[in-house]
């Protein structure tokens, strides 16, 4: 199965979304929100951009704490779910259905974040578009937090060809095929539930931590810290996740 470069436009619906909902606990969302508040260093009523926001779990949690949230995502199903959730909770959150590369506001946000492996969905030119849009949307001095497990120092030392997982009633396999000549990881997901099998492909562009830092610097975002955990431990070779805190200096 060939994985298209725009795979993420059709991937996020059905059983893959059900899996994501089951895999992430409310406690994890709360811990991640605490980390974002600590690293973004914003006032409680600050305006924050969550991109891509998925089903809005971070925006909903931060909205409860008084932040003015805008969530952007390409998945119509996720955005609709987020709208229903915020309405039920009585939270006024702006939900935007859009490709993460097309952020069209300027000097509007006191902080922004990209949490999850979505940072690696885009090739170099797409990443430049995304980061330029984030930088443009931030006020001077505002911070941008990136979290990903698909960074070279994290994923390549421990890469396994095939892994099986069970999350409640969903059994799924992940198969990796790394293209070293272009630093790209084609990943194939097989989902099994109630006798039904569904297969989807994803493409992750693998950047080093240094490359990400240089890309951020190229759009006016200076890296202040690189962590490996929500407890702010230093990022090193073999760390499972990377958390970058950058600040707009232009």
Q: How many domains does the chain have?
A: 2
For residue 1, tell me if it sits in a domain. Answer: no
Q: Looking at residue 116, what is its pLDDT?
A: 83
pLDDT in tens, the chain (250 residues): 788 888 988 888 778 778 878 878 899 999 999 999 999 999 989 999 999 999 999 999 999 999 999 999 999 989 999 999 999 999 999 999 999 999 999 999 999 999 988 889 999 999 999 999 999 999 999 999 999 999 999 999 989 999 999 988 999 999 999 999 999 999 999 999 988 888 999 999 999 999 999 999 999 999 999 999 999 999 999 999 999 999 999 6
Q: Let me know whether 141 and 160 are in one domain.
A: no
Q: How far apart are CA 97 and CA 71, in angstroms?
A: 9
Q: Let me know whether 19 and 125 are in one domain.
A: yes
For residue 92, tell me if it sits in a domain. Answer: yes
Domain that holds residue 53: 8-149+207-248
For residue 22, tell me if it sits in a domain. Answer: yes
Which stretches within the chain are classed as H helix? 8-11, 15-23, 26-40, 57-64, 76-89, 124-137, 152-155, 209-218
Query: If you write DSSP's letter for every residue of 191-221 in order, what string do you get?
Result: EEETTEEEEEEEEEE-B-HHHHHHHHHHTTE
Q: Let me know whether 125 and 159 are in one domain.
A: no
For residue 235, tell me if it sits in a domain. Answer: yes
Predicted structure pTM score: 0.93
Question: Which tokens sit at 151?
Answer: 């960074």
Cα 70-73-78 angle, rounded to 5 deg: 105
Packing angle of the helix pair 57-64, 26-40 (nearest 10 deg)? 70
Question: Which tokens sit at 247?
Answer: 């600040």
């Amino acid at each position: 199965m060939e994985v298209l470069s725009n795979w993420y436009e059709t991937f996020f619906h059905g059983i893959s979304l059900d899996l994501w909902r089951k895999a992430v606990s409310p406690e994890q969302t709360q811990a991640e929100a605490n980390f974002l508040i600590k690293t973004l260093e914003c006032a409680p009523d600050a305006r924050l951009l969550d991109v891509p926001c998925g089903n809005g779990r971070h925006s909903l949690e931060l909205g409860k704490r008084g932040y003015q949230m805008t969530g952007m995502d390409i998945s119509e199903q996720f955005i609709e779910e987020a709208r229903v959730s915020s309405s039920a909770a009585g939270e006024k959150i702006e939900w935007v259905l859009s490709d993460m590369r097309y952020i069209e506001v300027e000097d509007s946000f006191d902080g922004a974040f990209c949490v999850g492996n979505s940072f690696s969905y885009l090739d170099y030119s797409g990443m430049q578009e995304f980061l330029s849009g984030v930088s443009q949307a931030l006020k001077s001095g505002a911070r941008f937090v990136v979290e990903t497990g698909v960074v070279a120092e994290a994923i390549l030392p421990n890469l396994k060809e095939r892994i099986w997982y069970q999350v409640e009633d969903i059994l799924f396999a992940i198969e990796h095929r790394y293209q070293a000549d272009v630093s790209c990881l084609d990943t194939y997901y097989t989902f099994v539930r109630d006798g039904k099998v569904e297969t989807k492909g994803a493409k992750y562009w693998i950047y080093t931590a240094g490359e990400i830092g240089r890309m951020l610097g190229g759009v006016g975002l200076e890296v202040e810290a690189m962590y490996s955990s929500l407890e702010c431990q230093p990022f090193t070779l073999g760390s499972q996740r990377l958390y970058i805190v950058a600040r707009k200096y232009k």
